[in-house]
Structure 1
Amino acid sequence: MHDVSDLLEVLDLRPVGDSVFEGRNSALDLPRVFGGQLAAQALVAAARTVPSRQLPQSLHATFLRPGRPEAVNRFAVEHVRDGRSRTTRTVTATQDGREVLRLTAAFGPPSTGVGHQTPPPHAGKPQDAPTLDESIADLGGLMGLWTGFAAVDIRVAPCPDGAASRGLLWMRATAPLPDDPVTHAAVLCYATDLTLLSAALVPHGLRLGRERDHSHAWDTVSLDHALWFHHIPRADEWLLFDQHSPVASHGRALATAQVYDTTGELVATVTQEGLLIAEPLT
């Protein structure tokens, strides 16, 4: 079971050289390394090479090939730019010398200035929302691939009428996290890859956690992942993911989400493209 303590160990990378780090993978019931874990580890590796006063502002990741769960991940950090207001790092993640992910991350110090945001949707209270498992109990509960994700509590909020490709989800870490903003940013990065592409299944009559219908089993594979931190929240407190998929075409789906804290502040925006695969059931 992949709980918070295991996730924190996975994110605690080991330095093995100048701006080079290694980390293991969590044991999940998946044929490949979970992309959210790999991106979160790469973000931690980049953060290890910048001044502590500079915090993550954004990341852009490209998944190059599936990672093997039993292999060690090596993260080599390139120092692209060091500035007073913005620092940029590129991280190349490899397994046995083969690239599996490339991530560019930007960091900067906290600052003040003008601001605005879109208001959050009405989603009720997270403690009143059913768990992901409870939300699909009428369909037989969660499928096997979800059983290992115990590090994040996922609650399904009621969705506005007529939102055919939209989903509202509350998420938080299932145990308290250290008071380190990079850790909270990394756990949020991890969470943004858990359910986002599932929004592309909603228009096809499927519900999160039951990625199959009477004739097909659906799968999604992350290709590109972009995340902007407007403010780094505590990832062990409830965050509302307002996610939707504007388009799926030619085997690829695009999904995006705005992430709000319980005060209604928009703390992050994420966009992801992935393969949308339907395999006939035999």
Structure 2
Amino acid sequence: MNETLHYLLDLLDLERIEQDIFRGDSHASVIPRVFGGQVAAQALVAACRTVPEDRPPHSLHSYFLRPGDPGAPIVYTVDRIRDGRSFTTRRVVAVQHGQPIFHLSASFQAHEEGLEHQEPMPAAPDPETLPRAEELMPKYRHLFFHEDVARLVLEARRAIDLRYVAEPPFATKGEPREPRSQVWFRTNGRVTGGHDNPAVHICLATYVSDMTLLDSVLMAHGRGGWTTGDVVGASLDHAMWFHRPLRADEWLLYDTESPTSQNGRGLARGRIFTRDGKLAVSVIQEGVVRVPRGAS
């Protein structure tokens, strides 16, 4: 396990400060707020800590209420809503400076046998044939609104090996394309030891799920995103359904599309497939997508 992955796993290893109350730290941020995927993943970790390990999460629904302060710890309070024979429900509120910044509801289920089907995995090149994000970013450094942005973006993602299937939105500014994006991702290193359990892998996938989901919205309008300064964005709500087991340290294909954007908001849908074609996760998010005043 490399140093950057170890740091991310430590970030998700919350401190228990009281019964059903946990505290987590934050990444140093490239923007003046906490990364949404981090808050969602930490909140899910807090919920998982109150549920037996043989009952993994099958869905979450969440709202981002206020920007998080990356310089302050976040306190997560878990409400044990229901413990049923097959399903368990938890509610988590994340608080900073005395105010809620994030709200999550999660449902957990014991394994059951049942009917099975899924849509097929979309075509995508093998991840080994694609450049790593850190190899790709310098090529487009001239498009970023500040010379340090590319470096800071890479630092924020340093625990994740992320590979774009096609050119990312910041590379195609001004050129509208089909509102669809694909990335392969896995952790930069193997998850081992006490961290290697199904809940951790689900929480790591939750962390990554907020990284590129709104790219498909940007594609439709030829916008580069906040990195190029032509869009202001933030996650509003985020929902995930966990269908089948996954390992976050093995290649996962994140296929996303945007059916609509309007009124300063964009909607994106995502599917996460294992490399052997199993549909592991479905994701839906709506986010703020605003054009700054004065931007063309």
TM-score, with length taken from structure 1: 0.91
Is 1:188 aligned to 2:184, yes or no? no
Distance, in Å, in 2 between the alignment partners of 1:135 and 1:25 is 26
Paired with 1:268 and 1:44, the residues of 2 have a C-alpha distance of 17
Instruction: Give 1:163 shift.
Output: 6.6
CA distance in 2, matches of 1:76, 1:221: 24
CA 1:136–1:18 in 2, change beyond 3 Å: closer, same or farther?
closer
CA contact (8 A) 2:177 2:222 kept: no
Query: 1:15-164, aligned counterparts within 5 Å?
Result: 15-135=16-136, 137-140=138-141, 143-144=149-150, 145-148=152-155, 149-158=157-166, 164=178
CA distance in structure 1 between the aligned counterparts of 2:291 and 2:114, rounded to whole angstroms: 46
Q: Is the 8 A contact 1:29 1:147 kept in 2?
A: no
Q: Give the match's secondary structure for 2:231.
A: strand
Q: Does the residue aligned with 1:140 lie in a helix, a strand or coil?
A: helix
- Within 2, Cα distance between the matches of 1:157 and 1:245? 17
Amino acid corresponding to residue 117 of structure 1 in structure 2: Q
**Structure 2: gaps spanning 5 or more residues:** 168-175
Determine the structure 2 residue equivalent to 1:255.
Answer: 268
Retained in 2: the 8 A contact 1:211–1:219?
no
2:187 aligned residue: 173
Q: In proportion to residue count, which structure has more strand?
A: 1
Structure 1 portions without partners, runs of 5+: none
- Opposite residue 223 of structure 1, the aligned amino acid is L
Q: Point out 4+ residue stretches in structure 1 off by more than 6 angstroms.
A: none
Tell me if 1:242 matches 2:259: no
Give the TM-score of the pair, scaled to structure 2. Answer: 0.87
Deviation of the 1:132 alpha carbon = 2.9
Instruction: Work out whether residues 6 and 26 of structure 1, in 8 Å CA contact, stay in contact via their aligned partners in 2.
Output: no
Would you say the 8 A contact 2:160–2:188 is kept in 1?
yes
Give the drift of 1:71.
1.1
Contact 2:216 2:258 in 1 (8 A): yes
- 1:201–1:133 CA distance, 2 compared to 1 (3 A): farther
Kindly state the Cα deviation for residue 109 of structure 1 after the two structures are TM-superposed: 1.4
Aligned residues: CA RMSD: 2.1
Percent identical among aligned pairs is 40
2:9 match: 8
Distance 1:163 1:269 in 2: 23
Q: Per the alignment, do residues 88 and 186 of structure 1 end up closer, same or farther by CA in structure 2, a change over 3 Å counting? A: same
Q: 2 CA distance for matches of 1:61 and 1:234?
A: 23
- Deviation of 1:206 (Å): 3.5
Shift of residue 156, structure 1, vs aligned partner: 1.3
How far the C-alpha of 1:169 sits from its partner, in A, is: 0.7
Shift of 1:105: 0.5
The aligned length equals 275
